[in-house]
Structure 1
Amino acid sequence: LPVEGKKVYISTLYRKYSKDVAWILKYIKPFEPADAYFLVVNQKSKKFIIGRSKDESIDVGKILYQLDGGGHKFAASTTIVGFSYDEIKTFLTFLTAKHQKPLTSFIKTDLPTVEADLSIEEVKSYLGRYRYVVVLQNGRYVGILNDKLINNAIKHGFSNEKAIVFAEELITVSPDVSFIQLLKMFSTYQTDIFPVVEKGYYKGVIYKKEFVSEISGIKEDKPIFLPISKPKTVNYLNRVKKFFPLEIFQTLKEVGEYAEKLGYRAFIIGGVVRDIVLNKENLDVDIIVEGSAVDLIKAYAKDKNFNFYVYPEFMTGVILLPNGLKLDFATARKEEYDSPGSYPKVEKANLFEDLYRRDFTINTLAIEITKSNFGKLIDYFNGLIDIKEKRIRILHSLSFVEDPIRILRALRFAGRLNFKLEKKTENLLIYAVERDLLNFAPTGRINLELNLTFKEENTFEILMLMDRYKVLYKLFAGLSIDQNKEKGLIKLQDSLLLLEKVLGIQFPKNSNYLYVLLGNYPEEITYNLLKKYHFEK
């Protein structure tokens, strides 16, 4: 390792670690002249690092402590998961450097801070040359506002709202965070800054770019080692193979082969990937293409003589399979909303940008089907963790403002999956409902979401959530579910399931549920409400 004035060696060993390895280290001749040395033992999914020192100025205990290890000044060890040998060399070079900066030197206090009750319009004046503003309440950390969020909030008419409403709770670190903990956070969370908080009080921020530039020795703005903005990836090939019928699995493989021939990347995304993780049946396949979805559809469907439709103006299309199923395609894109509830403007983008426009983290998972990476699950936004923790989380604090229909979708997914709303998501949903943002949503889309709710197996649970969060109250002129309606909804849901699952009889669900909900309303009010949401037929 290039450590000034010292002989510090590093080597790697490809064998299973045992105590014998550590014991024979001092007898390895190439290590004899070293002031200190590190041996990286490669195992299946992790690397075991052994450190030894003969020089008091090179404290291997302190060095490997920063990699979550333990030991003392002259002997220490640790285990690392998810980093290559070359990356470990970079880390150890930085940590053993004679003039190494302490981690606390990366904590900066230059970002402007504002009080939580300041208006969004007032907060904007604090930005200056900075992209971020830190929101505090009596010195305690509340969250972060960035320039884009502030400008969008003002554009949507929320300039007088308090900063605390839209402050985003970025992942925080403590002042004594270790080197390896920071690196893991950098690779896990898609953010440029990490607020430093101690016992609830704001201490500063660590900038990802500055930290990485320092440890890599690269000061220019160009790609460096892997921990930068790296999504979590998992091999899901076997699970994909088990999940889909053989015919669909083979079709996905063929689509991936055509995508690679065209120089594109293709992914299945959204609900079907979520349900693969949850092992819930779903053959509604959406495919995102980094490239041109229209060109991929034409190339594949024409060769296979499949029926297809393309919509170049929307960069989308569909292939109809011989078995009656269909594959929906779209070019990866990003969106911008002009006003709450409006349809978005779209333009081409990459996978990350496409997933960032999704409604909830559980729907941001993607599985690549391109031939060379077939079966690789990609998780940019910790969707896997949120599925494991059973929570619904939006991706940014203006999510319900930009698309109020997400209020209905959040409750529908929560009821269907028996998930809970993440705390910040819940607070923002309550705020959006109280501010009557559903009035900005196209009534046709409300009709669609309500019909989807009525088709769910857990319709009762979803409607109870809509009642709890005052959504039904806002949509249907003060509607609330009393004890009688609750009993009626339970009885109706059980009856419809019995008729469908046991007797195979399909009854119109929307009219039955609407009858129970609105049955005691005056006829004129009921008619007007049904007409408003396009249920008049």
Structure 2
Amino acid sequence: MQVIISHVNTDFDALASMIAAKKLYPEAQIVITDKQNDAVTQFLNIYRDTLPMMQDRLVDWDQVEELIIVDVAALERTGDYSKQLNRENLTITIYDHHPSKDGDITPEHGRIEPLGAAVTLLIEEIRKQQIPISSFEATIFGLGIYTDTGSFTYAGTTARDLQAASYLMEQGMNLEIIQRFADQMLLPEQQELFNQLFLNTTEYKVDGLNILVAAHEQQKFQGGLSTLTRKLLEMTDADAVLVVVEMQKRVYIIGRASSNRINFLPLLKLWKGGGHEQAGSATIKNGIMAEVLPAVVENMEIILKPAITARDIMTTPVKTLGPKMTIEAAGKLMYRYGHSGFPIVEDGKLLGIISRRDLDKANHHGLGHAPVKGYMSSKIVTIHPETSIEEIQKIMIEHNVGRLPVVENGKLIGILSRTNIIEVLHHKNIETNAVKTEKYEHQLAKRMEEQLPQDIYALLQKISKTASDGNLSVYLIGGIVRDIILGKPNDDVDIVVEGDGIAFAQQLKEGYGGDVLVHESFGTATWEHPSGVKIDVTSSRLEYYERPAALPDVEKSTLREDLERRDFTINAMAIYLTGEKFGEIVDPYLGARDIKQKTIKVLHNLSFVEDPTRIFRAVRFETRFGFKMDNQTESLAVQAMPGIKELSANRILYEMEKMFNEIAPERTIQRLFELGFWQQYDISKQAAASSCIHVKRLKSIYETHSNLGDKNHWFSYFLIPFYKAGQLKQAKQFALTKKEGKLLQEITELTSYVEWRNSSTIAELHQQLKIYSNDAILFMLADETQDFQQFVLSYLEKAQNLPVYLTGADLIKKGLKPSAAFSKILFDLEVAILNNEVASKEMAEQWLEEYLV
């Protein structure tokens, strides 16, 4: 016998999960206890006759061979009959979405995954097996999802819950019924209990959070405590509510929270309870309120996760202005750094703050020459570095300020803006152990050791020691971080020092030997270890652009500002190399997530305007990694493409060489058409398909005849769209070297000189093509028929190393006088060699004898 069960005090997720399980296990019997929450009881009073279920007291539990448990993983929470099911010969399948805890069963089958609702797991299985469901079943399943996710507002809600709900809508889910049962009015008995709880609340201020504890004792059992707890949370400004109620010799603890800093599970586990971090419960049999309530209050601090403080998320060091700086000069600095305000400091004392709005108003009135002191806000609200993020939000709202200076011992040590707060609220990873917002491997030390060459990893350990000894923050940065996450090889090692990078490189030389090459103007140095390994050492720096497409100006900055200047989120990551944090990822823009999702994103909307070559790098990464620009980034690339023509040909060719040396040049050409690059040079998008075909054919020729032509084919690939569109003249601006100019000239000549295509003999082919390079011939050959290709390729293979058996000197020895006939004789000899008629000097001399007769 198969039986489907769930936990006591059945809620809609448990009910929906049992009915969904019946779809997967049609022979199984749904068994429900008498203890349901009030909303489920009301629902069953109407629909019980349409649902295939039986009461637990009617089941012969000895006959049960297989148990399907849903929305719970602890057998003891399924009811009084659980002891009868604790036997070895029972097959158990579990579908649950709660975090595991002591006492949970390890099932033989099923799925336990962290989702907003357990029924989502079963809906996914139903869809996978293509089992049809009715609109009524879709509605019940919807009740499970909507109630357990708080209509998709609870922190545990996932995209999969929303996808499941979308599927249910397609199957006829009735939202009117869901609204009626998911958000019911309280029954009179519930209202009375709610009033008692409301009157018996105590508020506790713990580490910046407001936690409300409500307690009540009564003899009569009243269900729906979770609903009452949720309503208490909604009616107050508390961050969390704990309800403790004693009824019928049991004490019930229910917790609900709106703050992600709350995790009820450590507290509830003291009484073998469970649930989710922000929504859980525990039941204590034979419990006494006088014992349980003090224990709840005494252990309240264990439900708190470490606070995110101003120190964790502030920007530091702070760029400040002096009070005598002019409005005009301050405006230029604000543009350069992209800030919306600056603190005004004199002799270490904070005088005020000036915002972009203040500057705009002053400039509007023609006061660009005036000092900022006269227009700054001198009423300053400051915070301490240990102020929690919750308190910071309240201060910003209360005082209507967008930035807060962080002051410690009278000294300005940082500044917090709305941007810092928004980043945390939207789950961007910050440099603190207090929060791990992105579900990704934050500690990469082991992966570094396994993946990096042994000598490089050993040097990073030495760098870590030197940084720790000097109390410096040093990071591994750039493409190597991305490739460590991707599991791809990369021995191009760049490190960034928050401090003097050149001085740090000299320290490495003094400590471990080698040489240092200094680039003073850029604040960078290259340390070459005696083993030959080179490490680029850089001071963290900020780049700003005076105008679009210009080369950047550079100055020292913080790591965060250094990462802000990067091209894409996947390249805006760093790895700590200092001390205990060795191997910890710094990922403020969620680059690791984008790597997982194979997405390329710019860091800000003007990224491509400032440096249009980033468009080429985006295409290169798409080709190399199989990634794709997100819609916003691609749109920005298309908008910025006209700026490409502001770049020098050198800068464009530098990027083209890198792109076309990737594994799929045809993909590169296609993407550049899609983004509008070729169109900047009067090449119609209609040439895209033929260009891609041409590059594939040319690439195939190079692969099968690798001995022919140049080893580097990128410039040939680059010329293809110009050739296919009849715009080779436009390509002249890119033929910067003698070699590139010659190739372009030869392709241009062969395009208009069609006689070579009519060659039918080796002699004709040699006559037409001997003056052209193999690369030019192969370029044109990609446009020809297969048979003609083989004919010409056979010729090129023979002509590649054509032996010289006779020269003009040999002809003179034979008594011939130098004349134009020499060229004809030697040409005819080459044709004979190509036709396999002559294979040695002796044969050549005999051929000549016969030729002259």
Shorter-chain TM-score tier: 0.5 to 0.7
C-alpha spacing 1:464/1:512, structure 2 compared with 1 (3 Å): same
* Separation in 2, partners of 1:91, 1:378: 19
- Matched with 1:336 is 544
| Aligned partners of 1:61 and 1:72 also within 8 Å | no
Report the alpha carbon displacement of residue 465 of structure 1 after superposing the two structures with TM. 0.6
Q: Paired residue for 1:230, among 430, 433, 452?
A: 430
Greater percentage in strand = 1
Report the alpha carbon displacement of residue 439 of structure 1 after superposing the two structures with TM. 1.7
Unpaired segments ≥5 residues, structure 1: 1-15, 21-33, 41-49, 93-129, 132-145, 152-185, 188-206
* Separation in 1, partners of 2:560, 2:738: 35
Q: Which moved more, 1:358-367 or 1:471-480?
A: 471-480
Report the alpha carbon displacement of residue 415 of structure 1 after superposing the two structures with TM. 2.3
Deviations 1:74-102 (A, max 9, x none): 5323698777997965999xxxxxxxxxx
- Matched with 2:516 is 308
- Matched with 2:565 is 357
* Separation in 1, partners of 2:593, 2:634: 18
Q: How does 1:467-486 map to 2 (within 5 A)?
A: 467-475=673-681, 481-486=687-692
Report the alpha carbon displacement of residue 360 of structure 1 after superposing the two structures with TM. 0.7
C-alpha spacing 1:208/1:353, structure 2 compared with 1 (3 Å): farther
Report the alpha carbon displacement of residue 52 of structure 1 after superposing the two structures with TM. 6.0
1:366 aligns with 2:549: no
| Aligned partners of 1:36 and 1:51 also within 8 Å | yes
Q: Which moved more, 1:323-332 or 1:476-485?
A: 476-485
C-alpha spacing 1:483/1:297, structure 2 compared with 1 (3 Å): same
**TM-score, normalised on structure 1?**
0.61
- Matched with 1:210 is 393
1:76 aligns with 2:254: yes
Paired amino acid for 1:489:
V
- Matched with 1:53 is 214
Report the alpha carbon displacement of residue 471 of structure 1 after superposing the two structures with TM. 1.0
- Matched with 1:453 is 659
Unpaired segments ≥5 residues, structure 2: 1-99, 105-199, 218-227, 246-252, 264-299, 308-339, 342-354, 361-387, 408-415, 743-853
Deviations 1:445-476 (A, max 9, x none): 21211111022123322221111111122257
C-alpha spacing 1:522/1:418, structure 2 compared with 1 (3 Å): closer
Report the alpha carbon displacement of residue 516 of structure 1 after superposing the two structures with TM. 3.2
| Aligned partners of 1:415 and 1:465 also within 8 Å | no
Deviations 1:204-225 (A, max 9, x none): xxx994337689xxx9743899
C-alpha spacing 1:494/1:269, structure 2 compared with 1 (3 Å): farther
* Separation in 2, partners of 1:504, 1:276: 37
- Matched with 2:645 is 439
Q: Secondary structure at the match of 2:617?
A: helix
- Matched with 2:144 is none
C-alpha spacing 1:210/1:474, structure 2 compared with 1 (3 Å): same
Paired amino acid for 1:211:
K
Q: Secondary structure at the match of 1:462?
A: helix
* Separation in 1, partners of 2:404, 2:550: 41
Deviations 1:339-376 (A, max 9, x none): 00111222111111100011111111111111231100
Q: Paired residue for 1:516, among 720, 728, 736?
A: 720
Q: Paired residue for 1:491, among 679, 682, 697?
A: 697
| Aligned partners of 1:447 and 1:535 also within 8 Å | no
* Separation in 2, partners of 1:383, 1:430: 22
1:394 aligns with 2:602: yes
Report the alpha carbon displacement of residue 322 of structure 1 after superposing the two structures with TM. 4.4
- Matched with 2:732 is 527
Q: Paired residue for 1:382, among 582, 587, 590?
A: 590
Q: Paired residue for 1:411, among 619, 629, 634?
A: 619
C-alpha spacing 1:255/1:483, structure 2 compared with 1 (3 Å): same
* Separation in 2, partners of 1:532, 1:343: 23
- Name which one, 1 or 2, has greater alpha-carbon Rg: 2
Q: How does 1:5-20 map to 2 (within 5 A)?
A: 18=102
Report the alpha carbon displacement of residue 511 of structure 1 after superposing the two structures with TM. 2.9
| Aligned partners of 1:62 and 1:72 also within 8 Å | no
Deviations 1:147-175 (A, max 9, x none): 69x99xxxxxxxxxxxxxxxxxxxxxxxx
Report the alpha carbon displacement of residue 253 of structure 1 after superposing the two structures with TM. 1.1
* Separation in 2, partners of 1:379, 1:394: 14
Report the alpha carbon displacement of residue 485 of structure 1 after superposing the two structures with TM. 2.2
Q: Secondary structure at the match of 2:488?
A: coil
Report the alpha carbon displacement of residue 242 of structure 1 after superposing the two structures with TM. 1.1
| Percent of residue pairs bearing the same amino acid type | 26
Greater RCO structure (CA 8 Å; 6+ sep): 1
Deviations 1:374-400 (A, max 9, x none): 100111011122112221111111111
- Matched with 1:507 is 711
Deviations 1:46-74 (A, max 9, x none): xxxx9963169xx7545778999999785
Deviations 1:296-319 (A, max 9, x none): 111102332212201122101112
Paired amino acid for 2:254:
A
Q: Secondary structure at the match of 1:334?
A: strand
* Separation in 2, partners of 1:291, 1:504: 52
C-alpha spacing 1:299/1:530, structure 2 compared with 1 (3 Å): same
Greater percentage in helix = 2
Paired amino acid for 1:230:
I
Q: CA RMSD in A?
A: 4.6
Paired amino acid for 1:472:
W
**TM-score, normalised on structure 2?**
0.40
